[in-house]
DNA sequence: TCCCAGGCAAGGC
DNA sequence: GCCTTGCATGGG
C-alpha cells in the first residue's frame, strides 16, 4: 500500500477486491460508475475506487480516513488461515477472497441497519439516499449522511414520506434517544454480548441488527449476525433446522471461533450470490 | 399475482 | 424465558 496526498494505491490484491467489499452487504451508500470504478460514501466523505488486474487506486481528499475505513492496516492472510479448515470456509474464502470488513461510522450503521430489517437491499439503498438528500448537508455534488440532531427534529410522518414503512417510528425514536445521550462511544469498551444487549435497548434494534452494527462499525469479531441467509448456512453447517436465533448465534460463534465476524461475511456473501 | 427481503415489537403463554 | 403474529414497501 502506498499513501499519497489524494490517493491510496494498493498493489497486492490477494485480500482486496472492491466488488467483494461493496457487494457483501455491509454498506449501502455506493454506486458503480460508467468506467467500472465505484464511488463510496461515509458520513460527509467520499472516495472513488478504480481497480484493474494488478492494482487498486482509492482517490479521496482524506486518505487517512479511508485507510482506516477500508481496514488496510489489517493482515487478512492470517484471518483466512485461521478460518480455512472450518466448515464450508475454504470455498467461501475462495469466492470472496477480496472481502474486507469496513470500519464504518457508528451512527450511520445504527440508522442504516434499522432500515435494513426485513427489507431488500435495493430498497434499503433507496431509503438511505432519500434520507441523505432530504436531511444531509449539501456537499456540492453529493449529500452527507444526516446528523443525529437533524434526524431527531423529524417525526415519524417524515420517515414514512421517504418510504421507511413501519420502521418510521423506530427512526424517530432512536434519533431522539441518541441526541438525549444514549452512549454509542462506550460500546467500544465492551464485548459483543454486552454491546448487543445495550444496542437492543434502542427501538428498531434487535439481536441481528445489533450484531451488524457491532461488526461493521465497532469491528467486533465475537458476533454472528443471523439473518435469512445465515439460517440457510446454518442448515448446511450444523445439519438441522433451529428456530431459536440466539441458539444459532451461539452455536455458530462456537464453531467459527475468534474470527466469527469475518467468517459470517465470507459465508453470507457466498450463500447470497450462489 | 404471490413471495420474499441482512427482523423487530408486542402480546400471549 | 420462548413462540406467534402483524407489519410497509417494492423487486423479482
In this predicted model, what pLDDT tens digit does every residue of A136-170 receive, in sequence order? Answer: 999 999 999 999 999 999 999 999 999 999 999 99
C-alpha angle with apex A121: A163 to A49, nearest 5 degrees? Answer: 115
Q: What are phi and psi of A105, to 5 degrees?
A: -75, 140
> Separation of CA A228 and C1' B6 in angstroms?
7
pTM: 0.98
Q: Is the CB of A148 under 7 A from strand B?
A: no
Q: In this structure, are residues A99 and A22 in contact, taking their beta carbons and an 8 Å threshold?
A: no
The nucleotide minimizing the C1' distance to residue A167's CA is C8
Q: What is the pLDDT of residue A23?
A: 95
Which of A118, A77, A96, A132 shows the shortest CA–CA distance to A19? Answer: A96
Question: Which pLDDT tens digit goes with each residue over A100-125?
Answer: 999 999 999 999 999 999 999 999 99
What is the rounded CA–CA span in Å between residue A89 and residue A69?
25
Q: What is the pLDDT of residue A242?
A: 82
Under the banding of pLDDT at 50, 70 and 90, the label for residue A274 is confident
> Separation of CA A127 and C1' C11 in angstroms?
14
Strand B nucleotides, any atom under 7 Å to a protein CB: 4-10
Q: What is the pLDDT of residue A42?
A: 98
- Residue A7: its H or E element: strand A7-10
Q: What is the mean pLDDT of chain A?
A: 96
DSSP states of A170-213: HHHHHHHHHHTT--SGGGGGS-HHHHHHHHTTSTT--HHHHHHH
Q: Which three cell numbers stand for residue A28?
A: 449501502
The nucleotide minimizing the C1' distance to residue A117's CA is B7
What is the rounded CA–CA span in Å between residue A235 and residue A76?
27
A187-226 residues near strand C (Cβ < 7 Å): none
Q: Is the CB of A120 under 7 A from strand C?
A: yes
Give the strands of the sheet with A56-60, arranged side by side.
A2-3, A7-10, A56-60, A45-51, A38-42, A30-32
Q: Is the CB of A270 under 7 A from strand B?
A: no
Distance of CA A137 to the CA centre of its chain: 22
Percentage above 70 pLDDT, chain A: 100
Contacts of A219 (CB under 8 A, 6+ apart): A71, A101, A103, A261
Q: Which three cell numbers stand for residue A134?
A: 432530504
Question: Which pLDDT tens digit goes with each residue over A225-259?
Answer: 999 999 999 988 888 778 899 999 999 999 999 99
> Separation of CA A113 and C1' B13 in angstroms?
31
Q: Is the CB of A158 under 7 A from strand B?
A: no
Under the banding of pLDDT at 50, 70 and 90, the label for residue A177 is very high
Q: Is the CB of A166 under 7 A from strand C?
A: yes
Question: Which pLDDT tens digit goes with each residue over A28-38?
Answer: 999 999 999 99
C-alpha angle with apex A149: A155 to A115, nearest 5 degrees? Answer: 55
The nucleotide minimizing the C1' distance to residue A247's CA is C2
For residue A62, the cross-strand partners are none
Q: Is the CB of A24 under 7 A from strand B?
A: yes
Q: In this structure, are residues A79 and A14 in contact, taking their beta carbons and an 8 Å threshold?
A: no
What is the rounded CA–CA span in Å between residue A69 and residue A108?
13
| pLDDT average, residue stretch A35-50 | 98
> Separation of CA A268 and C1' B8 in angstroms?
21
| pLDDT average, residue stretch A264-268 | 97
For residue A48, the cross-strand partners are A39, A59
Question: Which pLDDT tens digit goes with each residue over A56-104?
Answer: 999 999 999 999 999 999 999 999 999 999 999 999 999 999 999 999 9
Amino acid at each position: 500500500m502506498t499513501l499519497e496526498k489524494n490517493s491510496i494505491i494498493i498493489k497486492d490484491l490477494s485480500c482486496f477486491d472492491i466488488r467483494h467489499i461493496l457487494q457483501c452487504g455491509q454498506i449501502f451508500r455506493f454506486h458503480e460508475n460508467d468506467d467500472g470504478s465505484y464511488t463510496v460514501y461515509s458520513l460527509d466523505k467520499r472516495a472513488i475506487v478504480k481497480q484493474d488486474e494488478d492494482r487498486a487506486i482509492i482517490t479521496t481528499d482524506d486518505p487517512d480516513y479511508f485507510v482506516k475505513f477500508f481496514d488496510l492496516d489489517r493482515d487478512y492472510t492470517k484471518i483466512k488461515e485461521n478460518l480455512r479448515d472450518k466448515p464450508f470456509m475454504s470455498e467461501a474464502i475462495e469466492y470472496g477472497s477480496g472481502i474486507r470488513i469496513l470500519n464504518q461510522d457508528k451512527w450511520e450503521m445504527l440508522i442504516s441497519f434499522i432500515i435494513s430489517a426485513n427489507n431488500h437491499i435495493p430498497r434499503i439503498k433507496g431509503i438511505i439516499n432519500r434520507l441523505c438528500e432530504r436531511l444531509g448537508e449539501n456537499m456540492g455534488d453529493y449529500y452527507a449522511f444526516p446528523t443525529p440532531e437533524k434526524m431527531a427534529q423529524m417525526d415519524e410522518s417524515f420517515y414514512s414520506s421517504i418510504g421507511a414503512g413501519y420502521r418510521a417510528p423506530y427512526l424517530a425514536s432512536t434519533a431522539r434517544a441518541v441526541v438525549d445521550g444514549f452512549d454509542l462511544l462506550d460500546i467500544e469498551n465492551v464485548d459483543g454480548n454486552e454491546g448487543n444487549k445495550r444496542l437492543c435497548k434502542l427501538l428498531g434494534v434487535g439481536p441481528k441488527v445489533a450484531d451488524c452494527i457491532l461488526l461493521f462499525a465497532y469491528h467486533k469479531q465475537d458476533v454472528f449476525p443471523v439473518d435469512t441467509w445465515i439460517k440457510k448456512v446454518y442448515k448446511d453447517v450444523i445439519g438441522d433446522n433451529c428456530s431459536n436465533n440466539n441458539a444459532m448465534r451461539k452455536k455458530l460463534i462456537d464453531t467459527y471461533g475468534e474470527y466469527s465476524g469475518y467468517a459470517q461475511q465470507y459465508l453470507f456473501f457466498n450463500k447470497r450470490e450462489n
